[in-house]
């Protein structure tokens, strides 16, 4: 069973924490809202995902076009968020472990599940594990090889989305894999099957985020904006835009 995002609806940085994206997931006929936050995931992040789900429910072309019982929320994190879970439990929203690394909500009006990537079983749920910011190289390579087994348009759309999000989160790892001779044939086949767009989009976004982070680091070290622009090979206007966003978040 392929359980993956099919449409990215947001991404970037939130309160200094990396946000890999808020994405719409498709699992059979269900619509899932997935929020992947940085290490500081809190109860507020849970309610933000709830808000996204409710907004999505309201975007149908006519009344109840998107049925409420077709919604669910999925949140992914590398380690178990003890503080968030403790607060949700206090509020009467419990989570029970369904399988290693997979927790299902109890007593909440929108079904929610929480994925802890570090706890997922080896060789299972690979499409979820590679969405982590620290994806394992073996997992990424195995998933790339597995993509050739997906043939329907729906499966291909899912794979494209996984590769885009994973490529953004693991830019340097994907660049390394693309340079390896033993992966060249697989990547060529992926390109021929139409999967290359997902990797390309992910790497493009990942490269931009890497440059943005570099620019912010150089600015914190006292480097002038024009020098930063030269260092990251972009315009002064773009660097100023990055820095203005950082200032607002602070």
| pLDDT tens digits, 71-105 | 888 888 888 999 999 999 999 999 999 989 989 99
What pLDDT was estimated at residue 196? 63
pTM above 0.75, yes or no: no
Question: 197 pLDDT band (50/70/90 cuts)?
Answer: low
Question: 246 pLDDT band (50/70/90 cuts)?
Answer: low
**165 class by beta-carbon count within 10 Å (0-12 exposed, 13-18 middle, 19+ buried):** buried
Question: 151 pLDDT band (50/70/90 cuts)?
Answer: low
What pLDDT was estimated at residue 247? 55
- The residue ranges of every structural domain in the chain are 1-129, 137-250
C-alpha of 42 from chain center = 17
23 φ, ψ to 5°? Answer: -125, 155
- Supply 218's token pair: 């150089």
- pLDDT (average), residues 26-44: 54
């Amino acid at each position: 069973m392929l359980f993956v995002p099919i449409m990215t609806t947001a991404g970037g940085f939130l309160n200094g924490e990396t946000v890999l994206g808020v994405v719409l997931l498709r699992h059979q006929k269900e619509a899932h809202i997935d929020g992947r936050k940085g290490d500081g995931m809190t109860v507020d992040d849970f309610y933000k995902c709830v808000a996204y789900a409710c907004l999505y429910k309201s975007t149908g072309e006519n009344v109840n076009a998107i049925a409420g019982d077709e919604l669910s929320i999925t949140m992914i994190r590398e380690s178990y968020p003890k503080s968030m879970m403790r607060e949700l439990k206090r509020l009467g929203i419990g989570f029970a472990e369904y399988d290693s690394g997979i927790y299902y909500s109890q007593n909440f009006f929108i079904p929610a599940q929480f994925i802890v990537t570090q706890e997922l079983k080896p060789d299972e749920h690979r499409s979820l594990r590679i969405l982590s910011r620290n994806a394992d190289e073996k997992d990424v390579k195995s998933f790339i090889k597995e993509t050739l087994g997906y043939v329907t348009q729906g499966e291909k759309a899912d794979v494209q989305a996984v590769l885009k999000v994973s490529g953004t989160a693991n830019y340097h790892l994907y660049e390394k894999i693309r340079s390896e001779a033993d992966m060249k044939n697989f990547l060529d086949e992926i390109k021929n099957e139409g999967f290359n767009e997902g990797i390309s989009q992910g790497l493009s976004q990942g490269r931009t985020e890497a440059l943005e982070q570099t620019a912010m680091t150089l600015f914190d070290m006292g480097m002038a904006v024009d020098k930063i622009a030269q260092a990251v090979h972009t315009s002064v206007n773009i660097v100023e835009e990055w820095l203005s966003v950082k200032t607002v978040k602070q």
